[in-house]
């Protein structure tokens, strides 16, 4: 193992925040040494509770995350926060900085905040988010909060890494609730109607309840919060604990590695897929000529990329 990685490990074990920051940068960029570090910390991973917040832009996710962190601190938990923005190519950029609302916790040594942004690789963001979670987990954070901006497919994929997934909605979304269209409700363990100071909140909560009580064995709690006032946060923290307890530890242990394997495989195949390969051109031609279906072409392309690796 390189000296640098060993130094990082010593720093991490000593609870050094600068070492944590450097270890995160290392795994985020997948710098050589990442594998060694992840291997070395693997036995210390799996203790933290990972809570994901996702939902439509402006629903109040960041404010809610800030209020939840406050509630966690009240309960004596140490916290890691990861804000993920798949739409932004910047890492830790100003855009994201404005979108997370953590200034209140800036001086608290028990709260560590980090932003992650897209590097344009399919599955890449999920991979780096999962590795950053592992590093914070091994560092000893009790709870790691993951906030994703927006509600598209990649956000769902990232949010899916969390043990407990929370979908935040704003009041008055009407019938075509944005979150439902993006397939985001399916991953929710808890639904939150934030901005409950708005009179439409009650109706939105009832609409969501009507949509999610379909199957008897999966009754998803619908909670109301006023994030700006810190209202409803105790109930939310309790609901998160309950959802987590219901999951059981064996499921949790297997889930994260499985999801990570899937996204890493996708990322790997994507990076191996050479679109300048004449065989790829040929497939595209056959597709254009209607000689093969998209499924057949994709299957062939998959084989091509697997052969290259
Ligand atoms: N009235 C009211 N406003 C709220 C509440 N929670 C958040 N807001 C406001 O809603 C706006 C958006 O809040 P954010 O926390 O930035 O929302 P977000 O979902 O993180 O937004 P993006 O990260 O841009 O997608 C801000 O002006 C907040 O002050 C609430 O409970 N009630
Ligand atoms: Mg935000």
CATH of the domain at 76: 3.40.50.300
Residues 96 and 221 in one domain: yes
Evaluate whether residue 238 is within a structural domain. yes
Q: What is the pLDDT of residue 199?
A: 94
CA-nearest residue for atom 28, ligand 1, is 60
Evaluate whether residue 23 is within a structural domain. yes
Evaluate whether residue 229 is within a structural domain. yes
3 compared with 222, residue with greater pLDDT: 222
Residue 62 has pLDDT above 80, yes or no: yes
Q: How far is CA 136 from CA 12, 39, 113, 206, 235, in A?
A: 9, 14, 10, 37, 26
**Residue 95 zone, left/alpha/beta (φ > 0; ψ -120 to 50; rest):** alpha
Ligand number with the minimum distance to the CA of 196: 1
First to last CA, the chain: 25
Evaluate whether residue 265 is within a structural domain. no
Question: CA nearest 260: which of 147, 131, 146, 139?
Answer: 131
Longest dimension (CA), the chain: 64
Other CB atoms within 10 A of residue 92 CB: 17
Residues 49 and 37 in one domain: no
Winning range, highest mean pLDDT, from 37-41, 43-47, 237-241: 237-241
pLDDT-derived band at 94 (thresholds 50, 70, 90) equals very low
- Calculate how far, in angstroms, residue 150's C-alpha sits from the geometric centre of ligand 2: 8
- Report how far residue 275's alpha carbon sits from residue 302's, in angstroms, rounded to the nearest whole number: 12
Evaluate whether residue 254 is within a structural domain. no
Residues 61 and 174 in one domain: yes
% residues pLDDT > 70 (the chain): 80
Residues 102 and 91 in one domain: yes
- Report how far residue 122's alpha carbon sits from residue 20's, in angstroms, rounded to the nearest whole number: 26
The pair phi, psi for residue 226, each rounded to 5°, is -120, 90
- The pLDDT tens digits of the residues spanning 154-187 come to 667 777 789 999 999 999 865 555 555 556 777 8
Element containing residue 224 per DSSP (H, E): strand 222-224
Angle between helices 124-139 and 3-13 (to 10 degrees): 50
**Tokens coding 59:** 């629903």
CA-nearest residue for atom 13, ligand 1, is 60
Residues 168 and 302 in one domain: no
Residues 39 and 51 in one domain: no
Evaluate whether residue 253 is within a structural domain. no
Residues 94 and 173 in one domain: yes
Residues 157 and 74 in one domain: yes
Residues 85 and 227 in one domain: yes
Q: What's the domain count of the chain?
A: 3
Average per-residue pLDDT for the chain = 83
Place of tokens 């299957």: 299
- Calculate how far, in angstroms, residue 55's C-alpha sits from the geometric centre of ligand 2: 10
Q: What is the pLDDT of residue 105?
A: 81
Ligand number with the minimum distance to the CA of 150: 1
pTM for the complete prediction? 0.82
Residues 178 and 93 in one domain: yes
**Tokens coding 272:** 């191996």
Residue 89 has pLDDT above 60, yes or no: no
**Tokens coding 139:** 């560092």
Residues 231 and 172 in one domain: yes
Evaluate whether residue 267 is within a structural domain. no
Q: What is the pLDDT of residue 121?
A: 46
194 compared with 98, residue with greater pLDDT: 194
% residues pLDDT > 90 (the chain): 40
pLDDT-derived band at 91 (thresholds 50, 70, 90) equals very low
CA-nearest residue for atom 7, ligand 1, is 60
The domain in which residue 292 lies consists of: 273-308
> Does the CB atom of residue 67 touch ligand 1 within 6 A?
no
242 compared with 267, residue with greater pLDDT: 242
- Per DSSP, 164 falls in state E
Residues 131 and 240 in one domain: yes
């Amino acid at each position: 193992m390189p000296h640098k990685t060993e130094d990082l490990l010593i720093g991490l074990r000593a609870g050094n925040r600068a070492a944590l920051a450097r270890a995160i940068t290392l795994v985020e960029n997948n710098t050589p040494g990442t594998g060694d570090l992840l291997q070395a910390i693997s036995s210390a991973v799996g203790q933290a509770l990972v809570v994901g917040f996702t939902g439509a832009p402006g629903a109040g996710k960041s404010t809610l995350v800030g209020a939840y962190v406050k509630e966690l601190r009240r309960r004596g938990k140490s916290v890691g926060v990861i804000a993920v923005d798949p739409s932004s190519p910047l890492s830790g950029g100003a855009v994201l900085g404005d979108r997370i609302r953590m200034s209140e916790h800036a001086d608290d040594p028990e709260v560590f905040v980090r932003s992650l942004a897209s590097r344009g690789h399919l599955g890449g963001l999920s991979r780096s988010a999962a590795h950053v979670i592992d590093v914070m987990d091994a560092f000893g954070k009790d709870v790691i909060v993951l906030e994703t901006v927006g509600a598209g497919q990649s956000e769902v994929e990232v949010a899916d890494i969390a043990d407990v997934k929370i979908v935040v909605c704003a009041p008055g979304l009407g019938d075509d609730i944005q979150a439902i269209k993006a397939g985001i409700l399916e991953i929710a363990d808890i639904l939150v109607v934030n901005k409950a100071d708005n009179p439409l909140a009650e109706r939105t909560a009832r609409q969501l309840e009507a949509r999610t009580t379909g199957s008897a064995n999966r009754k998803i709690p619908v909670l109301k919060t006023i994030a700006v006032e810190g209202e409803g946060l105790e109930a939310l923290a309790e609901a998160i604990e309950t959802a987590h307890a219901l999951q059981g530890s064996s499921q949790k242990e297997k889930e994260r590695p499985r999801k990570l394997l899937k996204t890493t495989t996708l990322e790997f195949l994507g990076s191996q897929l050479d679109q300048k390969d004449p065989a790829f051109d040929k497939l595209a031609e056959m597709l254009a000529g209607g000689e093969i279906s998209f499924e057949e072409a994709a299957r062939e392309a998959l084989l091509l990329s697997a052969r290259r690796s």
